[in-house]
A and B are shown apart, each in its own frame.
Chain A
Amino acid sequence: MNQLLDAWTQGQRGINYFRYSAYSLLLEWSASMSSNTLQIINSYISAITSIDLTGVNEVVPGYHSIMIYFDAALTNHESLIESIENLIVEKSTNQTESETIIINVSYEANHGPDLLYVAQSLGITSSEVIKLHASKTYDIHFIGFLPGFLYLGGLDKKLTLPRRDIPRTKVPAGSVALAAGQTGIYPCDSPGGWHIIGQTDHEFFNPNRNPPCSFSSGMKIKFNPI
């Protein structure tokens, strides 16, 4: 169909551009959630935000894509595509130096109601679950789902298990949870289907603070059992 040909443009640098709406443009790289893709995405985000492209309102990353929201009165898809294709993008070097933020977590049974279930389903002990979970350093890929919810990369493959059959109607704020090969922290009370293995009192989002969220794509975190 013609509209499909119109919607996509293949760039010269491995970026596929998609005219998503009248005021948004999607940049997509080949599908992967690797730290390499993360680094490419971060270097594009810093390049785009540092040169202050005319009309760009928001730059929102996913695992292998970036959505650019723009003011259609000031710019358009074609001029943005051209600018991005000609951007000078420096491979961000500060990634390796970026400090790791320590998140204190209580993995005790009353704070991690699903810890025992997770251990039993995986055929290991609760302390092995904690050890596997707390020994890794996690990359923050992006923030989504809820204000301040970090999408983390780097969970040990041994901790992979499906979501709960029946999601909880209320997962309390600060719950550290995992499911489907991913781990995360609920920044506010929310319904949720992940298994809760611990609890943290670290603040991830506060609308009365500036900035409301001190985490961003490219930072690293580590869980510290207390």
Chain B
Amino acid sequence: MIEVLRSGSHICVVDIGREGYQAMGVPVSGAMDMVSLARVNSLMGNKMNSAVLELYFSGHQLQFHCDTYIALAGATTDIKLGERKIYNDEIIKVNKGDILSIGAISIGCRLYLAVPYGIKSTQLLGSRSPLRGHSKKHIKKGDKIMIESSIISPHRYATTKALAIDRLKKIECYVGPEWRRLSNQQQQDILSTTYTITQQSDRMGYRLEGPSLKIDSFQILSSPVMTGTVQLLPNGNPLILMRDCQTTGGYPRILQVTSTDINQLAQRKPLDEVQFKIVSNLRY
């Protein structure tokens, strides 16, 4: 069992999310950065859909009430196990009573922590990721997190690659269905703007702000949307839908972030910058 002594920004249990319920309005959810999820699970020898902890930003403190192992991936942070400094991308033995502290972040913003066989929690519709309106959004101070096993899996698979976090990388997108309804000038403006991620950004969506760029938006009949869909809001700024996004929406869908670069975005935080770059919708 792991006890949360201090929850900095927020912590949640995530896995690959829930598929098959979008027609009932259920978000897919799952880890914001799927590359790092795959990375920690593969380091630990877990199945790819095992649940892990997603630790957003710094200031977290966790105490282990059993001997176990952990692996970390994602953001580069100042991590200490007791007094010992530890690093991402390796398996670390943890002793009963040890305290894990997540200090200052230097690269990215989301750190993933895996335990052998995954975090044990209630599954809703086939996933342990939070379900809006039906499960707790975040894990709080004092909460106890159950783990499946203290014994490491003997099965070792080839480990998947770690995400090369690049906060200046232009975010690759396909054009969205309503892109053609923008004028050439508007399209050029959007592609040449360096946007800033605002504080009103969370696991549902990142609101961006451009330097006094005013693009007239319009409404569409509510239509399907997905993780990575970039909507143009009435105030002329884009909103990038993230993993916990709703399944349909009524704002123009101007761009669609590739399933690769959505993980780069997951490692950017408010005040970080975003620039879009279009790739062909046929280049997969």
CA A190 – CA B27 in complex, angstroms?
15
Residues of A within 8 A of B132 (CB): 146-147, 188, 190
Contact of B247 among A63, A144, A216 (CB under 8 A): A144
Chain A CB within 8 A of B124 CB: yes
User: Are A212's CB and B24's CB within 8 A?
Assistant: yes
Contact of A144 among B25, B175, B278 (CB under 8 A): B25
User: Are A144's CB and B222's CB within 8 A?
Assistant: yes
User: Are A3's CB and B228's CB within 8 A?
Assistant: no
Q: How does the 8 Å CB contact mask read for A1-44 relative to B, with 1 for contact and 0 for none?
A: 11110110000000000111111101010011100000000000
User: Are B177's CB and A22's CB within 8 A?
Assistant: no
Q: How does the 8 Å CB contact mask read for A128-165 relative to B, with 1 for contact and 0 for none?
A: 00000000000000111111110100000000000000
Residues of B within 8 A of A145 (CB): 25, 246-248
Residues of A within 8 A of B177 (CB): 18, 20, 26, 28
User: Are B133's CB and A4's CB within 8 A?
Assistant: no
User: Are B24's CB and A65's CB within 8 A?
Assistant: no
Chain B interface bracket (under 10, 10 to 19, 20 to 34, 35 or more): 35 or more
Chain A interface bracket (under 10, 10 to 19, 20 to 34, 35 or more): 35 or more
Q: Taking CB as reference atom, which chain B residue is nearest A58?
A: B22
Q: How does the 8 Å CB contact mask read for B7-23 relative to A, with 1 for contact and 0 for none?
A: 00000000000011111
Residues of B within 8 A of A58 (CB): 19-20, 22-23
User: Are A22's CB and B247's CB within 8 A?
Assistant: no
CA A60 – CA B175 in complex, angstroms?
20
Decide: A6 near B23, CB < 8 A? Known: A60-B224, A188-B132: no
Chain A CB within 8 A of B159 CB: no
Chain A CB within 8 A of B64 CB: no
User: Are B281's CB and A19's CB within 8 A?
Assistant: yes
CB within 8 Å of B: which A188-226 residues: 188-190, 205, 207-208, 211-213, 216-217
Residue among A22, A147, A151 with max Cβ neighbours from chain B (10 Å): A147
Q: How does the 8 Å CB contact mask read for B265-284 relative to A, with 1 for contact and 0 for none?
A: 00000000000001111101
Decide: A7 near B22, CB < 8 A? Known: A26-B224, A62-B248, A142-B248: no
Q: How far is the CB of B126 from chain A (nearest CB, A)?
A: 10
Q: How far is the CB of A164 from chain B (nearest CB, A)?
A: 16
CA A213 – CA B21 in complex, angstroms?
9
Contact of A65 among B174, B224, B228, B282 (CB under 8 A): B224
User: Are A22's CB and B258's CB within 8 A?
Assistant: yes
User: Are A148's CB and B24's CB within 8 A?
Assistant: yes
B residues lining the A interface (CB < 8 Å) = 19-27, 124-125, 131-134, 174-177, 179-180, 220-224, 226, 228, 246-249, 256, 258-259, 278-282, 284
26 residue pairs bridging A and B, Cβ less than 8 Å apart: A3-B278, A6-B282, A20-B177, A20-B256, A22-B258, A22-B284, A26-B223, A28-B223, A60-B22, A63-B223, A64-B221, A65-B224, A66-B224, A69-B22, A72-B284, A146-B132, A147-B27, A147-B134, A148-B24, A149-B25, A151-B248, A205-B133, A207-B124, A211-B24, A213-B25, A216-B23
What 4 A-B pairs come out closest when comparing CB atoms?
A188-B133, A144-B248, A67-B224, A62-B223
